[in-house]
Amino acid sequence: MDGNDEHVDLTQSKIEFISKPDKEIETELEIEDETKKSRKTKRVALFGQIVLGIVIIALWEILTRLKVIDPYYWSSPSLIVQTGLQVLKEGSLYTDLLYTAGATILGFILGTIGGAILGLSFWWSSLYSRITEPYMVAFNAIPKLALAPVLVILFGIGFNSKVVLAFMMTIIVTALAAYSGVKAVDQDLERLLYSLGAKRYHVFSKVVVPTSMPWIVSSLKINIALSLAGTIVGEFISAQHGIGRMILYAGQVMNINLVWVGVVVLSILSIVMYFGTLYLEKWLLKGH
Amino acid sequence: MAKLEVRKGSKVFKKDGQTIYALQETNMQIEDKKFVSIIGPSGCGKSTLFNIIAGLLKPSTGHVLLDGHDIVGKSGYVGYMLQKDLLLPWRTILDNIILGLEVKGVSKKDGRKRALPMLQKYGLKGFESHYPNELSGGMRQRAALLRTLLYDKDVILLDEPFGALDAQTRLLMQTWLLKIWEDFKKTILFVTHDIDEAIYLSDEIYVMSHRPGRMKAKVTVNLPRPRNELTLSHDSFIQLKQDLLAMLKEEQVT
Ligand SMILES: Nc1ncnc2c1ncn2[C@@H]1O[C@H](COP(=O)(O)OP(=O)(O)O)[C@@H](O)[C@H]1O
Ligand SMILES: [Mg+2]
């Protein structure tokens, strides 16, 4: 030996234990609770939202009182509330709201369900879907509101024509969304189901529908605005009741305050529908 | 009579004017309750062969016989775990596992009742109501395999089930699979590209050539069961490993 033993001696491999196993983390440590934290963020956000709303309304009131902006056109929160209470007392606002909300929600539901069925049906035959798709895209591109006068003549000046308009506004958008979902279905999942002895309808109900659900749901929020626009335009053209009719009438007699009441009521209606769809979304997307 | 037989099965794809030979004429005879592995370079047609046996793909030639009956082109006769775990992301683990039962017409409630004890016995206790994305790779493979088992067919095809797992999890899963195989007494066909895995698990190993694949050799593994970590250092294990390595090495050059 010359004292230069730097070569590796394989027989000298050994194992050294450097800590005792299974020692629990000391619980006195302060650990951030993640649910608590996110709940706190939520509360702060809600608070902020309320404050922002109050600030906007207050500014509106103050600026119109100081005549910085013209109260004749812009009305003011206090005037709107005052006018609103007045028409509410007369009872007409209530009926009008019922008509508009009824037509909008019915058109929304029929259009969304009809569109979902139409879009999902494309899964069953690629020939059928290929033939139909360009026509759907074309129909979607037509400004359907331009057809409103024809529809009002066709379906009458009553409730029905408004429902039809809201329905037409929403059905194709939803169908195209559902069809995107159908196109995104994982072929391997289909094969898995067939390997389990599945028939086509099993694949449809257990894979195609759940895969497309997020796409269909994503069209819900857009459909609120679309169906509302359909109903209002229908009422603008010809109607005996409805917020749209009320707004048109108020504009004609220069009652700008009443126009604003209509706009505020429509906003409230769409907010209510928005929360309705949030609830629906949660239910439809269970597990997604 | 063999439990499962592939007779002169082959597959040619024609696409965009190109002809792709995926699988050359293949013959296999699998005896009842055996654990048989198929090993071969990637792209040699292992998954294609499984798709043919499972009836998801019509072969260009040949037949598949189960208990002597021709099942070529008919799906649903064998259990098949595809290369990906393919758990439905919107279903809980329990509801994923009962998928095959549901297709058979068993109600969700009855299916759950049947699946729950199995799930708890085979390492998924406490994960029943979790969603797949909350589980580790190994757990997901367990769920996918239990789904195939609960579908309850005599022959089960497993296409590289542990291919994506790390070495430690893989060893655990192999032991777990052997236990299941002993408990359920199934005939298992197992695709892998891992030589150790093939030897450790199998009674027989089919070696395939490079693409387009054909059966090049059939190896019988004479290692005692039950097998455990000691098997891995067994003399005949090491000998077999070297032979197989040599065989597969030939397939890499071309
Ligand atoms: N549907 C298909 N169309 C065309 N070629 C395919 C198709 N499926 C597989 N192949 C080809 O067949 C060969 C074998 O594929 P595969 O069976 O997946 O191999 P392995 O599972 O052994 O890796 C590959 O070259 C692949 O590209
Ligand atoms: Mg493969």
Task: Note whether A117 and A63 are same-domain residues.
Answer: no
Q: What is the pLDDT of residues A218-234, one digit of tens each?
A: 999 999 999 999 999 99
Using the structure block, give the residue that is written with the tokens 């190993």.
B205
Report which protein residue has its CA nearest ligand 1's atom 4: B13
User: Is there a domain that residue A30 lies in?
Assistant: no
Please name the residue of chain B whose CA is at the shortest distance from the CA of residue A186. B86
User: Is there a domain that residue A72 lies in?
Assistant: yes
Q: Is A192 on the interface with B (CB under 8 A)?
A: yes
Question: Which ligand 1 atom sits nearest the alpha carbon of residue B41?
Answer: 22
Which ipTM was obtained for this model?
A: 0.91
User: Is there a domain that residue B121 lies in?
Assistant: no
Q: Does any ligand 1 atom lie closer than 6 A to the CB of residue B211?
A: yes
Give Dmax over CA atoms of chain A in angstroms: 115
Question: Which ligand 1 atom sits nearest the alpha carbon of residue B20?
Answer: 5
Q: What is d(CA B4, CA B79) in angstroms, rounded to the nearest whole number?
A: 13
A186 contacts on B by Cβ (under 8 Å): 86
Task: Note whether A59 and A154 are same-domain residues.
Answer: no
User: Is there a domain that residue B105 lies in?
Assistant: no
Q: What is the pLDDT along chain B (254 residues), one digit of tens a residue?
A: 899 999 999 999 998 889 999 999 999 999 999 999 999 988 999 999 999 999 999 999 999 999 999 999 999 999 999 988 999 999 999 999 999 999 999 999 999 999 999 999 999 999 999 999 999 999 999 999 999 999 999 999 999 999 989 999 999 999 999 999 999 999 999 999 899 999 999 999 999 998 888 999 999 999 999 898 889 999 999 999 999 999 988 887 55
Q: Can you give the residue range of the structural domain that contains A67?
A: 47-79
Task: Note whether A64 and A123 are same-domain residues.
Answer: no
Q: Which amino acid is at B28?
A: M
Q: Is B113 on the interface with A (CB under 8 A)?
A: no
Q: What is the pLDDT of residues A109-166, one digit of tens each?
A: 999 999 999 999 999 999 999 999 999 999 999 898 999 999 999 999 999 999 999 9
Q: What is d(CA B159, CA B42) in angstroms, rounded to the nearest whole number?
A: 12
Which of B103, B104, B152 is best to mutate for the A interface (most A CBs within 10 A)?
A: B103
Burial A26-59 (b: 16+ CB within 10 A, else e): eeeeeeeeeeeeeeeeeeeeeeeeeeeeeeeeee
Q: What is the pLDDT of residues B146-176, one digit of tens each?
A: 999 999 999 999 999 999 899 999 999 999 9
Q: What is the pLDDT of residues A237-278, one digit of tens each?
A: 998 999 999 999 999 999 999 999 999 999 999 999 999 999
Question: Does residue A182 have a pLDDT over 80?
Answer: yes
3-class DSSP state of A8: coil
What's B63's domain CATH number?
Answer: 3.40.50.300
Distances from the Cα of B202 to the Cα of A39, B144, B155, B177, angstroms: 53, 21, 15, 11
Return the number of CB contacts < 8 Å for A and B: 55
Closest CA to B144 of B176, B113, B168: B176
Dump the DSSP string for A146-212.
Answer: GGHHHHHHHH-SSHHHHHHHHHHHHHHHHHHHHHHHHHT--HHHHHHHHHTT--HHHHIIIIIHHHH
Report which protein residue has its CA nearest ligand 1's atom 24: B43
Taking the alpha carbons at both ends of chain B, their separation in whole angstroms is 38
Q: What is d(CA A198, CA A243) in angstroms, rounded to the nearest whole number?
A: 51
User: Is there a domain that residue B116 lies in?
Assistant: no
What's A221's domain CATH number?
Answer: 1.10.3720.10
User: Is there a domain that residue A15 lies in?
Assistant: no
Bridge partners, B70 (sequence order)? B65
Task: Note whether A103 and A214 are same-domain residues.
Answer: yes
Q: Is B105 on the interface with A (CB under 8 A)?
A: no
The C-alpha torsion from A40 through A46 and A50 to A56, rounded to 10°, is 110
Using the structure block, give the residue that is written with the tokens 């103050």.
A62
User: Is there a domain that residue A85 lies in?
Assistant: no
Q: Does any ligand 1 atom lie closer than 6 A to the CB of residue B13?
A: yes
Enter the DSSP assignment of A26: P
Distances from the Cα of B100 to the Cα of A60, A189, A197, A199, B110, angstroms: 62, 13, 8, 12, 13
User: Is there a domain that residue B184 lies in?
Assistant: no
User: Is there a domain that residue B218 lies in?
Assistant: yes
All residues with CB under 5 Å from ion ligand 2: B 47
User: Is there a domain that residue A136 lies in?
Assistant: yes
User: Is there a domain that residue B182 lies in?
Assistant: no
Task: Note whether A130 and A70 are same-domain residues.
Answer: no
**What's the mean pLDDT in A1-17?**
61
Question: Does residue A1 have a pLDDT over 50?
Answer: no
The C-alpha torsion from A235 through A236 and A237 to A241, rounded to 10°, is 40
Task: Note whether A59 and A128 are same-domain residues.
Answer: no
Distances from the Cα of A99 to the Cα of A93, A163, A228, A276, angstroms: 10, 10, 12, 18
Number of domains in chain B: 1
B54 contacts on A by Cβ (under 8 Å): 195
CA triple B177-B178-B183, angle to 5 deg: 95
Last residue of a domain, one of A79, A103, A127: A79
Burial A204-226 (b: 16+ CB within 10 A, else e): bebbbbbbbbbbbbebbeebbeb
Structure-block tokens of residue A160: 């029905």
- In terms of Cβ atoms closer than 10 Å to its own Cβ (0-12, 13-18, 19+), residue B169 is middle
Compute the nearest-CA separation of A186 from chain B (Å). Answer: 9
Task: Note whether A131 and A255 are same-domain residues.
Answer: yes
User: Is there a domain that residue A233 lies in?
Assistant: yes
* Inter-chain touch A195–B82, beta carbons under 8 Å: yes
User: What backbone phi and psi angles, to 5 degrees, belong to B115?
Assistant: -80, -30
Distances from the Cα of A107 to the Cα of A112, A113, A164, A231, B73, angstroms: 8, 10, 7, 8, 47
Closest CA to A247 of A231, A230, A232: A232
Contact status, residue B37 vs residue B206, Cβ threshold 8 Å: yes
Contact status, residue B145 vs residue B158, Cβ threshold 8 Å: yes
Number of domains in chain A: 2
* Inter-chain touch A195–B80, beta carbons under 8 Å: yes
Report which protein residue has its CA nearest ligand 1's atom 18: B47
A198 contacts on B by Cβ (under 8 Å): 76, 103
Task: Note whether A75 and A199 are same-domain residues.
Answer: no
Task: Note whether A73 and A106 are same-domain residues.
Answer: no
Q: What is d(CA B98, CA B102) in angstroms, rounded to the nearest whole number?
A: 6
A210 contacts on B by Cβ (under 8 Å): 88, 90
Q: Which amino acid is at A170?
A: T
Task: Note whether A112 and A53 are same-domain residues.
Answer: no
The full 3-state SS of chain B, as one line of letters, equals CCCEEEEEEEEEEEECCEEEEEEEEEEEEECCCCEEEEECCCCCCHHHHHHHHCCCCCCCEEEEEECCEECCCCCCCCEEECCCCCCCCCCCHHHHHCHHHHHHCCCHHHHHHHHHHHHHHCCCCCCCCCCHHHCCHHHHHHHHHHHHHHCCCCEEEEECCCCCCCHHHHHHHHHHHHHHHHHHCCEEEEEECCHHHHHHHCCEEEEECCCCECEEEEEECCCCCCCCHHHHHCHHHHHHHHHHHHHHHHHHCC
Task: Note whether A118 and A142 are same-domain residues.
Answer: yes
Task: Note whether A98 and A75 are same-domain residues.
Answer: no
Distances from the Cα of A145 to the Cα of A169, A225, A236, angstroms: 8, 13, 11
Q: Tally Cβ neighbours within 10 Å of residue A100.
A: 28
Q: What is the pLDDT of residues A24-76, one digit of tens each?
A: 666 666 777 888 888 999 999 999 999 999 999 999 999 999 999 999 999 99
Instruction: Name residues whose C-beta falls within 8 Å of residue B68's C-beta, 6 or more positions apart in sequence.
Output: B1
pLDDT band at A17 (very low <50, low <70, confident <90, very high): confident
Q: Can you give the residue range of the structural domain that contains B74?
A: 1-78+156-162+189-238+250-254
